Chain A
Amino acid sequence: MTTWTPTPYQVVTRTVETHDSVTLVLRPVAESLPAFSPGQFAMLYAHGIGEVPISISGIPGDGTLVHTIRAVGAVSRALHDAGPGTVIGVRGPFGTAWQLDGAEDLLVVAGGIGLAPLRPVLGHPAKRTVLVAGARTRQDLLYQDELAGLSDVDVVLTVDHGDHDWHGRVGFVTEPLASIPLDPDRTTALLCGPEPMMRFCARTLLGRGVRAERIQVSLERNMQCGIGLCGHCQLGPLLLCRDGPVTGYPTAEPLLLAKEL
């Protein structure tokens, strides 16, 4: 079945982001895939090793694909190590996108590698964009130079464990969320990170009057096909490769609260 057949792309540039993460820019070898929207993902195939879901982390608009990959296992390690010229198989675009229609103030909250799928949103022409991004340590924070150069986004960075070279906040992303100025009636919140982080952040935001329907989360489950055929990405009623990863909080909350769903 052709739906299983990747389209060859070639690594054009490989930028080291942190000790375990890189950003790859991929160019089609011949044919190209339809355009991706922020929040959607691709299945990236490393020859002979395997295929994993990776979000789009940038949309340059020139037909290239941008992905930020954290090496955590065999496939992500192979993709992470792919130098310029390496051919990677790509299938997509898959899944739902961040819903930005009618958003006034954007509140973007990311934990760890969760910043990657949110990065394309930072260029969205919202009235006001606030980014709250957290990571374990200073060394795990993605895109630090780029974020420092963003003029139209208020950036709040925090790390779980500080050191003497870190002059910013120390603590979880929930802490700044409790205090940053926000207008709950105008706020659309986009969250991506570990599940407990998203739950705590959403609870904090609900407590501050942000409407549940205006909170979106990006959910993660094992994915082996991206096209509703393998069954691995189920989260209750959802097939996350199709009905997610971006999900409205009213749908997501009861699913996140159930144990081992």
Chain B
Amino acid sequence: MQVVLDLDGLDALIGVLRQDGRVVVGPVLRDDAITLAELGSAADLPSGWGVGTGPGHYRVRRRQDTAVFGHSAGPQSWKRFLHPPRRALISSDPAGFHPVEDNAPDYAFLGVRPCDLAAITKLRQIVGGRAPFVVAAQCTEPGEVCFCASMGCGPAAGSGYDIALTERIDSTGHRFLATSGTGEGAEVLARVPARAASPDDVALAEQDVEAAANRMGRAMPELDLRDLLARNRDSAHWEAVAERCLTCGNCTMVCPTCFCVSVEDTTDLDGNAERSQRWASCFEIDFSYLHGGAVRTSGASRYRQWMTHKLGTWHDQFGTSGCVGCGRCIAWCPAGIDITEEAAALAGSEQP
């Protein structure tokens, strides 16, 4: 099903999803960044706000138009909702061990970028949980640190969405081509005021998305990254990255697929205990702790672990890449380290 919504239609879509009892989460402008929060209506969307990004750089900026999805990935990702920073797992008391029910609400995610759509699939493959209702927003304007096209994750939305929107503002107005990806998506769309999509609407949206593929700020080098990383465990290049890397772990926190957690106990005064998980980073020294000391103490070994997992060993463990090309790790690295440049440099260092 393909229809065209205007801004009121988008507002109605949010309304319908809320009526069905879903918590609708989408992009909002907050603290000088585009973050993710519950949406009450389309008025909460960051209309007219875009972002400028670069290595170690992220700034919101005013757009010339009123686009609501005219921004690339922000500091948060949907990971925050599907795999919260902290989650209770079990409680333990004299009567035994009790699972803590996952009381996550029934989410609808609105404005999910194609890279993040792929990230949601990769993350859920590992952490499971209830599937959210997904309203994707195809990319027509990639950012400076984006490279989803070279990771095969955008700018067109791949599988996994219920509804995909393509935003367009031109002389005929501000509108969204809405395409259903599932029966549930079609049912929801049928309840929203919209007009039928013309062949022109569809063709324009396709053109816009295709053009975006050629305007990516960056690209991953075209070679077998899994092999590249597997044969470069002992490369001197890791030392070169370590000279710049602060091992702060920002890259793992902002990454929409990084899933690692540490598990810890807390006890109350009555002696009841709760075990919970919290986001962990392979850059923490204790991450690889064994009796006697950590396995990965050098910065070089920790950066190697991170990048190798993202681009290489994720394939071995989960049959796919751990990177979707969202560029967050580049923008939020205080040292401006760029995973695409490091991959290229590693490949370059191999040449005799």
Contact = CB atoms under 8 A, between A and B. Distances in A.
A2 interface: yes
B243 interface: no
Contact of A47 (B92, B102, B262, B312): B92
B297 interface: yes
Interface stretch (B72-80, B198-206, B283-291, B326-334): B283-291
B310 to A, nearest CB: 12
A239 B316 CA distance: 9
A49 B265 CA distance: 6
A4 to B, nearest CB: 4
Nearest to A29: B96
Interface in A247-261: 258-261
A230 B295 contact: no
A83 interface: no
Contacts of A2: 99
B275 A4 contact: yes
A220 B99 contact: no
Nearest to B261: A230
A236 interface: yes
A258 B233 contact: yes
Contact of B90 (A6, A49, A238): A6
Given A2-B99, A5-B99, A260-B296, A48 B265 contact: yes
Interface in A76-133: 76, 87, 89
Contacts of B316: 237-238
Interface string B237-278: 000000000000000000000011111110100010101010
A220 B298 CA distance: 19
A221 interface: yes
A7 B296 CA distance: 33
Contacts of A47: 92, 273
A231 interface: yes
A231 to B, nearest CB: 3
Contacts of B128: 1
A5 B287 contact: no
A3 to B, nearest CB: 9
A73 B92 CA distance: 21
Contacts, number: 110
A240 B23 CA distance: 38
Contacts of B297: 260
A165 B312 CA distance: 53
B288 to A, nearest CB: 6
A172 interface: no
A209 B290 CA distance: 33
A105 B267 CA distance: 50
Contacts of A231: 259-261, 280, 282
Nearest to A224: B263
B35 interface: no
B191 interface: no
Given A48-B267, A220-B290, A234-B309, A89 B298 contact: no
A39 interface: no
Contacts of A150: none
A221 B296 CA distance: 11
Given A4-B89, A222-B287, A229-B259, A236 B98 contact: no
B313 A232 contact: no
Given A232-B260, A259-B301, A8 B295 contact: no
A167 B297 CA distance: 41
B320 to A, nearest CB: 14
Contacts of B96: 8, 29, 87
A72 interface: yes
B102 A1 contact: yes
20 contacts: A5-B99, A7-B97, A29-B96, A48-B267, A48-B273, A50-B265, A73-B291, A89-B97, A222-B288, A224-B263, A229-B259, A230-B261, A230-B262, A231-B259, A231-B282, A232-B280, A234-B313, A237-B313, A260-B297, A261-B296
Given A222-B295, A229-B259, A261-B301, 15 more contacts: A1-B128, A4-B89, A5-B98, A7-B97, A47-B92, A50-B263, A73-B291, A222-B289, A225-B263, A230-B261, A230-B262, A230-B263, A237-B317, A260-B295, A260-B301
